[in-house]
Amino acid sequence: MTRLGVLVSGNGSNLQALIDATATGVIPGQIAVVISNVPGVRALQRAEAAGIAAIALSHKQYASRRQFDAAVVEELRRYDVEWVVFAGFMRLVTPVLIDAFENRIINIHPSLLPAFPGVDAGRQALEYGVKVTGCTVHLVTQDMDSGPIIAQTPVVVEDDDTVDSLMQRMHAAEHETLVRVVQGVCEGRLAVERANARPKVSMRKR
C-alpha cells in the first residue's frame, strides 16, 4: 500500500477529500503523515480527527527555505513516505525537497495551467474575463506551477460569478481531480519518463 505524505497550509478541503477516499478504499493507499507550515490550521485538525499523524513545522522558525525543506524531508522519511501531495501547500520549494522525492511530488492548482499561475488564480480568471477556467494536477518541479501536467478539469465561469462562487465550484473539481490522480498513483498507473531533461507523464487506464 502506497504511503502518502500530504503538505498543507490552510483549511484542508483537498486533504479531506483524500482522507475520505482512502477511508473508503477508492484510493488504495495510506496517508502516513500530514505536515503544515502554518500551525493551528484546520487541515491539521482534519488529520488528527482521522487518526493521521499531524505535524506543524512553522517555516518562520527556519533561516532559509532550504533548511525548512530539509526538516520536511526528515519528517517525510521518518514516516516512510513514497509519494508527496501538495494540497493547498503555499510554499515555494527548493531542490532539497524536489530531489529527495524526484518525480514523486504532485500539486493541485486552481487554474488550467499554464494560465494563471501563482496565488489568487480564481480572481485572475475573473479579471481576465475567461469563460472557462479549471484545475490542474501536475508534477512539482523547481519552477512554480510549471511541472508536467497530469490531469486537468474545466470549470465554466458564469456571468454573475464572484471569486467565492467560482471557487466553490473549483473546489469540487479539485477534489475529484486530485482523488482521481492519487488513485492512479497508488494503483501504479502513473508513468513518469525522462524526455530531454523534462519528465513526461501519462496515466494508464484501469
The total of other beta-carbon atoms located within 10 Å of residue 44's CB is: 21
Tell me the pairing of strands 132-139 and 83-86.
Answer: unpaired
Catalytic residue among 109, 138, 171, 175: 109
120-124 long-range contacts (CB < 8 A, ≥24 apart) are 122/163, 122/166, 122/167, 122/170, 123/163
Helices (H), 30-189: 42-49, 65-78, 95-100, 121-128, 163-186
Q: Is 138 a catalytic residue?
A: no
Measured in degrees and rounded to the nearest 5, phi and psi for residue 43 equal -60, -40
User: So which residues are the catalytic ones?
Assistant: 109
